[in-house]
Amino acid sequence: MVDRFVEAGCEVFGCARSGETVLEIARTYGPPHDFACVDVSDDRAVGRWTERLIAAGKVPDLLINNAGLINASRELWKVPADEFAEVVDVNIRGVFHVIRHFLPAMIEQGRGVVVNFSSGWGRSVAPEVAPYCATKFAVEGLTLALAEELPGGLAAVALNPGVIATDLLRSCFGPSAEHYPSPDEWSQRAVPFLLSLGPQDNGASLTAPG
């Protein structure tokens, strides 16, 4: 997505908890773009990151929460407690942390769209991924409730990105994951769609074009 947003003329700032990945993106796209190593499950770390950006005038017009983990495929009662907690911490608390630190500045500027990545498994279920399903159902509910709280000019949208050949999908689908679009192929269609979202979409549960 970063490649597509930059190509579209956007100023992009983002984070990941993989320092190596962040450095690679930062080397590719220097200022005014901004990338940092941040674990979204750490509220204090998110707060420091967002405070620095907002102080520099970097308030998002489009805020995308797409960090996500999935549990190793197994029945719910066999999922270790710490693994369940980590999925919840990233997939739900991470979304909350980013929203709570950025949204006041977005409200103050009077515009902005918050897109929280859900999943097909946030609207239906499958066996052996119950923790992931639970968190994505939670993202749907959180987003719909947030949409009712926002002032005019802003929007909150839950987005099912569709099925993409990522490492996350490979952990569930194995080799058959390669039958689906690569992240690069997906981004060619998804980013223009994301850039088209506006206040009229507030409260929508959408699916990215396939």
Is 29 one of the catalytic residues? no
Q: Residues 6 or more apart from 129 whose CB is under 8 A from it?
A: 70, 71, 73, 121, 172
How far apart CA 146 and CA 103 sit, in angstroms, is 11
Residue 86: φ, ψ to 5°:
-65, -40
DSSP code for 27: H
What are the CA-CA distances from residue 109 to residues 71, 86, 102 (Å)?
38, 34, 11
Q: Which residues pair with 14 in a beta bridge?
A: 35
How far apart CA 164 and CA 174 sit, in angstroms, is 13
In the block, tokens 């690069």 appear at 184
Choose, from 96, 117, 132, 186, the residue flagged as catalytic: 132
Q: Which amino acid is at 87?
A: V
How far apart CA 138 and CA 161 sit, in angstroms, is 16
Catalytic residues: 132
